[in-house]
Structure 1
């Protein structure tokens, strides 16, 4: 597939502009770097992140590379050197899973439909992050829902236990269907544990999704630690009378 430098000629005919692509990259960068700063990623860096392209509800910007690493915060705008190619970092896909810009790695190409499936199931969300965050993944490996007993989960909108989607081979129609059905069965959850695999988190934007990834990893660490003390205690009943959600 053709390599696309972020220049006017590269974007000619694309259904979006350079400013929209740059804004998406800024969102992706904020999300990726938030997770790494909090040490909520696995050492391998396996994971992926997507956001809706600003102004285009039917287009998604997804990381193109095989693994996630911290991203430099500088913009890739019209006029940057032709030696720098935005498709080294970003792929744009539509809600049918067709690549509209950039070149995904084989690994990312295999999971694009997973991201698309979440956006189709949850049209209210604008970002999706998948990680192998170690302690959250412990719950996924055990096929045990992560209890919403940690206040930071409520602060970031996860007021219900994080459910588990049953395992299916990554990237398959069966896996996409299992994730969609889990979201449908738990309409109040932003996050889903992927059985025998990892964590999938949707959000209002990339910062929100990344902050929730961090809160879920913290909750998993603390919940496992609390098991020796009798397990994490539920909130008192009057928690429902309090709106703890932090809105940016």
Structure 2
């Protein structure tokens, strides 16, 4: 859908939710605080994506964290399980305070599952954040598929260090 946006469909808002330019309908205004708490908590964040992709949302519906057991999660910066924020009405104080609490408890996470809702992923720019969303969705689908085979295996010790070292190795 993002490829079909027209300028009149977009709005510029402050972190407090005040519209600076454009129009923001009530169905979108309620999520501003959910995104703002991430921007206000993590200085390095410049993009937040809220999605309801099927496999990641299945974990959110189950209120189950998504383990880090696929290499793309490591490569895109999510080396710990994606934690779950307990359910609260979208954009409510319960939801926003829950996001803030889970971020404080998991300072290395680049995503949270919103219980009974979906996924919030965040990163340094929209492209990196989009890649993380795809890695999370594919990992969630793989995790669900592996469950039918007896469950996914954890990485061996040192996997994160090995992946990071390999990513720094110059290629010809």
Alignment TM-score, normalising by the size of structure 1: 0.64
Structure 1: runs of 5+ lacking an equivalent: 1-68, 74-84
Out of 78, 91, 104, the position equivalent to 2:11 is 91
Aligned residues: 167
Q: Does the 8 Å contact 1:127/1:204 carry over to 2?
A: yes
Determine if the alignment matches structure 1 residue 157 to structure 2 residue 89.
Answer: no
Contact kept, 8 Å, 2:17 with 2:32, in 1: the verdict is yes
Give a deviation string over 1:149-194, Cα, whole Å, max 9, x none: 0100011011110000000011111111101111111000000000
More helix by percentage: 2
User: Is residue 2:152 matched to residue 1:220?
Assistant: no
What TM-score, normalized by structure 2, do the two folds share? 0.91
Task: Give 1 or 2 for the bigger CA radius of gyration.
Answer: 1
Runs of 4+ in 1 over 4 A off after TM superposition: 244-247
Aligned counterpart, 1:193:
113
1:71 equivalent in structure 2: 3
Measured against aligned partners, the alpha-carbon deviations of 1:70-126 in whole angstroms (never above 9, x if no partner) come to: 4159xxxxxxxxxxx72x232111122211111012211111111111101112111
The higher-RCO structure (CA 8 Å, 6+ apart) is 2
Tell me by how many angstroms 1:237 deviates: 0.3
Partner SS for 1:193: strand
Matches within 5 A, 1:19-168: 69-72=1-4, 86=7, 88-168=8-88
